[in-house]
Amino acid sequence: MRNKTIIIAIVSFALGALIYNLFSPVIFQEGNPWPQIKGITELTFGKSKIVKLSGSDNKYLTKNKGGWEVADSLLKNKGYEFTEQMGSGYFYKSSDSNAVMTRRQYSRFYIIWAITENKNNFQTNNDLWTVTTNDQGIMFKYPRELLTKYISETEWPPVIKIKTGTYFCKTTPMEVSSMSEITRRRLVDDREYCVNVKYEGAAGSVYASYIYTTFKDDELIEVSFSLRYYNCGNYDEEQNKACVSEREVFDIDATVDKIVQTIKRDLSQKESLSDQIEKCIIMSDIVSGEKCDNLLKQITDYNSCVEAGFAIMKSNPPQCATPDERIFVETKI
């Protein structure tokens, strides 16, 4: 009997050690696992489909299947209306407040939801977006402010440029990356961005200068701006939690993507074909040469030459000449 007890104890210990080794990364991914274990117990044996995690002001647990619908219902029952999703954040608004909800997977079977209400959330509501046109004739929309408390705009609105060349992203190797400058590829939905970030530390803050590059409508788009991140460690416990929570839901990639999707040319300020050719034809680099060749291919007859903006020679019949010494004669039908 005694031997049987010892064998059971050894097997139990071995089984426990195996479970610990296999599942400890999941079990301890949130630190102290007790709130999650308690929440799982309540979901399994209780009637509620969502439980608030003990020791937390804004974290909830649901089962993976149907989890979003349950969490969404929680906010809708409080009077919130879903507005949009940006990355991992779900945005809601009511008549007098806003809320942001983010999700994290806890094993294959459960989801942890963080819900922030009435504070420290940033909105991308259309009411906060304004339209501008820059000196390149590029129209775009951008949020006048991010409405974040612990992240502020230092160079804003973004500077947007349409550049020549092809899209290429040389990322920073992991073994040589540093906190001073990093280049990474980012995906928003199915759209790829090459993101270069330069960091500069200051008293109690970190300044980040961003350059997002992508290819849209056969044009190379560059978006640049700078933000200031306040050091969460400089605040007391309550503000520190609020600062960290804000960082968790802040998705600048999605904001930039939304800006890029609004970009279009202001036709009233768009350069004529002749102006574009005159700028690139004096350049000696390969990219400018290829651009000029493609632009000149658009001129195929007298009418397209005139529409491009080139001068009409006083002759009979009228003639139009291009910079590559082609001459087109007006033909009347």
Nearest to 146 by CA among 136, 137, 138, 157: 157
| DSSP type of residue 212 | E
Please give the pLDDT value at position 27. Answer: 52
- Phi first, then psi: what are they for 19, rounded to 5°? -60, -40
Please give the pLDDT value at position 18. Answer: 46
Nearest to 222 by CA among 265, 182, 193, 254: 193
Please give the pLDDT value at position 12. Answer: 59
> How many Cβ atoms are within 10 Å of 5's Cβ, its own excluded?
9
Q: Computed over its alpha carbons, how large is the radius of gyration of the chain?
A: 29
Rounded alpha-carbon distances, angstroms, from residue 205 to 180, 232, 261? 14, 9, 31
Do the beta carbons of residue 256 and residue 158 sit within 8 Å? yes
pLDDT tens digits along 97-154: 778 888 777 877 888 888 877 543 444 444 578 888 887 778 899 988 887 889 999 9
Give the residue, 220 or 175, on which the prediction is more confident.
220
Q: What confidence category does residue 288 fall into, taking pLDDT thresholds of 50, 70 and 90?
A: confident
Do the beta carbons of residue 158 and residue 224 sit within 8 Å? yes
Nearest 5°: CA angle at 124, between 123 and 128? Answer: 95
Residue 28 has pLDDT above 60, yes or no: no
- Give the mean pLDDT of 259-272: 74
Q: What confidence category does residue 248 fall into, taking pLDDT thresholds of 50, 70 and 90?
A: confident
- Give the mean pLDDT of 224-244: 89
Q: Tokens 């590559």 — which residue?
A: 324
Q: Sign (positive/negative) of CA torsion 211, 212, 214, 220?
A: negative
Averaged confidence pLDDT in the chain: 79
Please give the pLDDT value at position 20. Answer: 47
Residue 19 has pLDDT above 70, yes or no: no
pLDDT tens digits along 202-226: 778 999 999 999 988 878 899 999 9
Q: What confidence category does residue 167 fall into, taking pLDDT thresholds of 50, 70 and 90?
A: confident
Do the beta carbons of residue 213 and residue 194 sit within 8 Å? yes
**pLDDT-above-90 percentage for the chain:** 15
What tokens does 59 get? 């974290």
Give the residue, 82 or 277, on which the prediction is more confident.
82
- Phi first, then psi: what are they for 178, rounded to 5°? -135, 175
3-state helix, strand, coil in the chain (%, to 5): 30, 35, 35
DSSP H or E stretch at residue 299: none
Give the residue, 32 or 186, on which the prediction is more confident.
186
Please give the pLDDT value at position 68. Answer: 84
pLDDT tens digits along 40-83: 888 888 888 898 888 777 889 899 888 889 899 998 998 888 88
Cα–Cα distance for residue pair 132/148, rounded to 1 Å: 22
Reported as half-sphere exposure (CB side, CA atoms, 13 A), residue 119 has a value of 9
Give the residue, 182 or 26, on which the prediction is more confident.
182
What tokens does 74 get? 């929680």
What tokens does 278 get? 């005159």
